[in-house]
Amino acid sequence: MKQIFLIIISLINFLPVYPYDIAFPLDKNITLSDDGIFFVGRTDKKEALWINDTKVKSNKNGSFAESFKLKSGENVFNIKNGENSLVIDKYTVNYIKPVCNESKLVEFPTQDFRTISDNVILRSTPIDFGMNRLGYLPKNTDLQITGLKNEFSRVYLSPNLSAWVFSKDIIPEQRENTIVGEYRGENVKSDIFSEIHSYKFSKNLPYSAVFDNNLLQIQVFNVENRSNEIFKSQIYLNPPYCYSVKMRDGLLNVSIPNVDMKHPRIIIDAGHGGIEPGAIGCMCDLEKDLNLKAAKAVKKELKSRGYNVSMTRNSDKFVSLKDRVNYTINKNGVVFVSLHMNSIPENKNPNDYRGSETYYYNSFSQPLANCIQKEITTSLGTKDNGVKQASFAVIRPTEYVGVLVETVFLVNPEDTKIYKSKDYYKKVAQGVSNGIDSYIKTLH
């Protein structure tokens, strides 16, 4: 009897019990801090699929998206092929409300600290998010700290200015004879590759470099021999407005490359890869694979138009964000385009999110974002969600003009039709290449 039972069980396991795939959620037992969850996948149009008491609505190619509100604690989702049929699969989603523990600002008299690593981010606000980066401080930069908020320390810049660094990036320091910051002169030199402005100070000091309206505004703080303890300088930049700023041994170097905009090197970045799949689509496609196919098509199209093109990855391998940035800078990339496909938080409804969007960080990259957004929506026929500014690591550097394109929403059944169509990659290649063409034309 037991044997027969086992045979039946194994037959059930091998038979395709029911033709459906749930691409997301990936796990059957998950814990979330958002108050909603969506299920995306595909099903056979001829058969019904139910999630609890909701009958799944799929589109022509079988892809579907259903979203549900979560109650606090355990939420069970039973997958069935009829309202009152047997349960064929089960998902358990635990919703735990996040505790908000925003702390108050604690102020104290000035204390001496120094940075303990390179590239410590000096921020205008005490949050690890958004457009608040002023400069990147090297290891052993002397700082004067006047307060604490959450995981940030407040840095004294001048009598009426302050900024923030992560508290983990600094340590207190006993400075025997406090050497004050002092400005000691400027030097400019240029060759065929670049123009370098060097500003000499008595030691490493907090600084900010902000590009605005063709001008790079430089400010160095805690400078005793300058009014309000701020040294100020501005440099006029020409298109494409790329630059690099570094503080080393009290020397602030601003390097401006001479770029040949007739033959700019273009870097195409296929998002994710290797152990990092990115988003997952209704049809179980992995974003990393589709991004790579799109990147290859874009490269081919740009090459046929006479551009010099490289890719940050051309196989299914993991490349860190830092390595993508370093690769682009080392290759003297001028135009950088990162290709992605969009996803949404668990508590949103995938049916409400479709279309293309293009991101930039530095204001001088916005014209490229505008050109690519216009051309990609025209080429793909997607909803135009516009150009947006966001702090993504691969588009933050000022050494190149960088944008990140989200071609479609991978979890949206309508967008699924677009990315599943046979000329999708050709259209992405046309859209991105036309966008780059029209951006470069604006620079002449």
Name the DSSP class of 138: P
Q: Provide the residue type at 208 as one letter.
A: S
Query: Would you tell me the crossing angle of helices 413-420 and 424-442 to the nearest 10 degrees?
Result: 90
Least Cβ distance, residue 436 to Zn ion (angstroms): 20
Q: What is the spatial distance between Cα 247 and Cα 93, in angstroms, rounded to a whole number?
A: 49
Supply 54's token pair: 């909701």
User: Would you report the helix, strand and coil content of the chain in percent, each value rounded to 5?
Assistant: 20, 40, 35
Helices (H) and strands (E) in the chain, counts: 6, 28
Nearer to Zn ion, 206 or 431 (CB): 431
Q: Is residue 216 within 8 Å of residue 171, measured between CB atoms?
A: no
Nearer to Zn ion, 259 or 282 (CB): 282
> What ranges in 219-357 are assigned the alpha helix state H?
287-304, 321-330
Least Cβ distance, residue 340 to Zn ion (angstroms): 4
Name the one residue in this structure whose structure tokens are 């056979």. 44
273 binds Zn ion (CB under 5 A): no
Q: Is 298 helix (H, G, I), strand (E, B) or coil?
A: helix
Nearer to Zn ion, 81 or 343 (CB): 343
Which residues are CB-contacts of 146 (< 8 A; sequence separation ≥ 6)? 107, 108, 109, 110, 111, 154, 155, 156, 162
Selected from 278, 333, 350, 397, the binder of Zn ion by CB under 5 A is 278
Least Cβ distance, residue 341 to Zn ion (angstroms): 6
Nearer to Zn ion, 200 or 348 (CB): 348
Strands 335-342 and 401-409: parallel
Least Cβ distance, residue 282 to Zn ion (angstroms): 16
Stretch that binds Zn ion, among 148-156, 269-277, 357-365, 409-417 (CB under 5 A): 269-277
Q: Is residue 145 within 8 Å of residue 111, measured between CB atoms?
A: yes
Nearer to Zn ion, 271 or 350 (CB): 271
Least Cβ distance, residue 272 to Zn ion (angstroms): 6
Cα–Cα distances in angstroms (integers) from residue 232 to residues 123, 217, 221, 227, in the given order: 18, 8, 9, 10
Nearer to Zn ion, 210 or 321 (CB): 321
Selected from 62, 271, 281, 367, the binder of Zn ion by CB under 5 A is 271
Binding-site size for Zn ion (CB under 5 A) equals 3
Stretch that binds Zn ion, among 62-70, 225-233, 334-342, 355-363 (CB under 5 A): 334-342
Name the residue number minimizing CB distance to Zn ion. Answer: 340
Nearer to Zn ion, 43 or 343 (CB): 343
Nearer to Zn ion, 278 or 413 (CB): 278
Selected from 42, 265, 288, 340, the binder of Zn ion by CB under 5 A is 340
Name the DSSP class of 369: H
Least Cβ distance, residue 285 to Zn ion (angstroms): 13
Q: Tell which residue, 238, 243, 195, 194, has the closest CA to residue 218.
A: 243
Least Cβ distance, residue 407 to Zn ion (angstroms): 10
- For residue 240, whether the previous peptide bond is cis, meaning omega lies within 30 degrees of 0, is yes
Least Cβ distance, residue 365 to Zn ion (angstroms): 18
Least Cβ distance, residue 404 to Zn ion (angstroms): 8
Name the one residue in this structure whose structure tokens are 């940030």. 152
Nearer to Zn ion, 411 or 429 (CB): 411
Residues that bind Zn ion (CB under 5 A): 271, 278, 340
